[in-house]
Chains A and B, each alone.
Chain A
Amino acid sequence: MTTDDRSRILTVEGLARVEGEGAMHVRVVGDEVVDVELSIYEPPRFFEALLRGRDYTEPPDITARICGICPVAYQMSACLALEDACGVVVDGQLAALRRLLYCGEWIESHALHIHLLHAPDFLGYDSGLSMARDHREVVERGLRLKKMGNQLVEVVGGRAIHPVNVRVGGFYRVPDVAELRGLIPELEWARDAALDVVAWVATLPIPEYQGDWDLIALVDPDEYPIMGRRLASLSGALDIPVEEYTDHLHEEHVERSTALHSAWEHGTYLVGPLARYSLNHDRLPEIARQAAAAAGLKPVCRNPFASIVVRAVEVVAACAEALRLIREYERPPLPAVAVEPRRAIGHGLSEAPRGLLYHRYEIDENGSILAATIVPPTSQNQRAIEQDLRQVAQANLDLDDAALTARCEQTIRNYDPCISCATHFLDLTVERQ
């Protein structure tokens, strides 16, 4: 509401189309945005505490329950960390199956975010469901893509939410060649549909904006990274193995939040699709790189409003990768490699759909967990989101309260924030004085 010419207060309670619960507060005095805060009020669930004393085989199942949208990411970072602790590397077709499973989650999560959560912002709808009244074919195509992602997760993982087939060392049962080959026709449709989605999202009215932060993602010499051991920043200020993660990236606890904020000695950084794309553009599958170019994306993208295009490009990449992995698949003789516990510390890092997810476990000689640290992508992105909110609000003060509020919410949704993950995020208040 408007109180006078110089002082306005806007309030939206319960930020929507994000995963979890949080609040945003923007305070405007005169022509200046003086304060921006993200508050996460999602109640804490204490995963790092309850994991202590559990067996080293349990984190893939337990940490999946941190997030219903990206359980595969939790399972993979957990497995990688525990295998690291036990001195085991899972490679070959078992690693390929993990990448295939993860491609399914990227397709499912990105298709959901593009069509049901983010696109409605650009076209002025309150939801994907109401957008479907005017854009039914677009939404139906998006839902079919999402379903394809879920089918991949179901065939490899057993079910779409909290897959049951993942274990430290590999899987309980590996699919036979025919099970995976059966997915090829729908995956070929999905890859072509994803190309159409890239072309469609490129037509959306994407605000101009350049973020003033560094970008951090996994890097890999050979492929577009999903799971890996090395992370780097676009500026070059960071280039480290996973073991050094906590030496450089720290978590801080601020009063307004049940989520911890990540901090870096070189300033604000961003993880997620923009970071992955900008650091690994030349390792995208050719078909995805061409789609990006056709949509007008440069090899480096610093506009978070354009993240919807990058996500669509990543859906193309994930479909193309899934097709390659299935065509090259040979059923491994054993579903898992033996992983024997030892007293050690292990680190695991993978690219959840919304960005880097770090796990660290300390286990004893019997495999009992002594300590667990989990750093989700939304914790790492909170500072960047606040910085963007400040700049976006400042640049758009001429908008009326409703329009400014909508633009601020859109700014937050650019990051596909996962608040349930970060708790350990949003009713929205814009206050003008």
Chain B
Amino acid sequence: MNASKPRVAVWKFASCDGCQLTLLDCEDELLAVAGAVDIVHFLEASSTSLAGPYDLSIVEGSITTAADAERIRDIREQSKVLVVIGACATAGGIQALRNSADITEYVSIVYARPDYIKTLATSTPISDHVRVDAVLRGCPISKKQLLDLITAYLLDRSPRLEASPVCVECKRRGVTCVLVAHGTPCLGPVTHAGCGAICPSFDRGCYGCFGPADTLNPDALVRRLGSLGLAPETITRLFHTFNAEAPGFAEVTAGGVVES
């Protein structure tokens, strides 16, 4: 509509819609954001869907069908900047648990007529298929980080993303360490910051929904969790949930870390 405003598109692949909902959850900022850009494709919010090219594409979800693998390549070709949001788009999401399972058996468990279902054996991140320009972690992403990313794009600066693990956010908030003080299993030492250490502030151990930290030592944490009396398969399950296929978490099997 307005040639001077960037054309923004929001795309969905296999996902729960929670990360794109995060944009609609910016209740105080939503109308301002909608005024600063031209939202030309955002099916969850608008019936208008305009053809590319797009200045900024925001992509949620993972690739689980051959048609979606084609669709993301087409979106990439039409987009100047492509950012991926959330654990599905960045690591394949919880549905990537299929990657180490028998997909035929999975289909037969859920559907009476497996022959009606078209699916790939794997759930893979967007970056396995196309070049991505920026990444927001989390299941779901943080509202604050999403607003910063959009602002950074509009101001042509780099987004301010945390590089530290959740532990640093916990210390910054003054939250007592649940692992040290209460012996609560916690993935904070190996998990990428960005949530604001929500779980420890609720007396709960981090469950890794922001995925692996940039630098991590899972072996040391696995030993510590073992010393708390956790069974090896419990430790493996802890790593293998919302970011099961993310490098750094994926290598942890039966309580140990396998060199890959």
Give residues in A with beta carbon < 8 Å to B.
Answer: 13-21, 42-50, 52, 54-55, 58, 61-62, 65-69, 71, 112, 116-117, 120, 126-130, 132, 136, 139-140, 143-144, 146-147, 150, 158-162, 164-165, 171-173, 252-255, 257-258, 260, 335, 409, 420, 424
Contact = CB atoms under 8 A, between A and B. Distances in A.
B48 A55 contact: no
7 contacts: A44-B64, A44-B117, A45-B14, A65-B16, A68-B15, A126-B46, A254-B116
A128 B44 contact: no
Nearest to B102: A49
Interface in B110-145: 110-113, 116-117, 119, 123, 139-140
Contacts, number: 188
Given A68-B17, A252-B112, A150 B241 contact: no
B28 interface: yes
Given A16-B49, A43-B68, A173-B204, A158 B94 contact: no
Contacts of A49: 98, 101, 105-107, 109-110
B97 interface: yes
Nearest to B18: A68
A164 B109 contact: no
B150 interface: no
A338 B185 CA distance: 18
- Complex A-B, nearest 6 residue pairs according to Cβ-Cβ distance, in ascending order: A68-B18, A127-B46, A147-B27, A45-B95, A49-B106, A172-B204
A420 B94 CA distance: 14
Contacts of A71: 16, 18
Contact of B241 (A17, A62, A161): A62
A159 to B, nearest CB: 6
Contacts of B237: 54-55, 58
A143 B27 contact: yes
Interface of B: 12-22, 24-25, 27-28, 30-31, 34, 39, 42-49, 64-65, 68, 93-95, 97-98, 101, 105-107, 109-113, 116-117, 119, 123, 139-140, 195, 198-199, 201-204, 207, 209, 234, 237, 241-242
A48 B109 contact: yes
B48 A126 contact: yes
Contacts of A50: 94-95, 97-98, 101, 106
B211 to A, nearest CB: 14
Given A172-B204, A173-B204, A424-B110, A45 B94 contact: yes
A414 to B, nearest CB: 15
Nearest to A108: B25
B28 A17 contact: no
B47 A43 contact: no
Contacts of A42: 14
Given A112-B24, A116-B45, 8 more contacts: A48-B110, A129-B45, A143-B27, A144-B27, A158-B201, A159-B195, A253-B113, A254-B116
Contacts of B116: 253-255, 257-258
A127 B45 contact: yes
A161 B209 contact: no
B198 A161 contact: no
A129 B209 contact: no
B110 A44 contact: yes
Most chain B beta-carbon neighbours within 10 Å: one of A21, A46, A144: A46
A139 to B, nearest CB: 7
B94 A14 contact: no
Given A67-B16, A161-B22, A335-B203, A46 B139 contact: no
Contacts of A162: 18, 139-140, 209
A140 B48 CA distance: 21
A18 B17 CA distance: 10
A43 B64 contact: yes
A142 to B, nearest CB: 9
B17 A255 contact: no
B101 to A, nearest CB: 7
Contacts of A45: 14, 64, 93-95, 123
B202 A173 contact: yes
B250 to A, nearest CB: 15
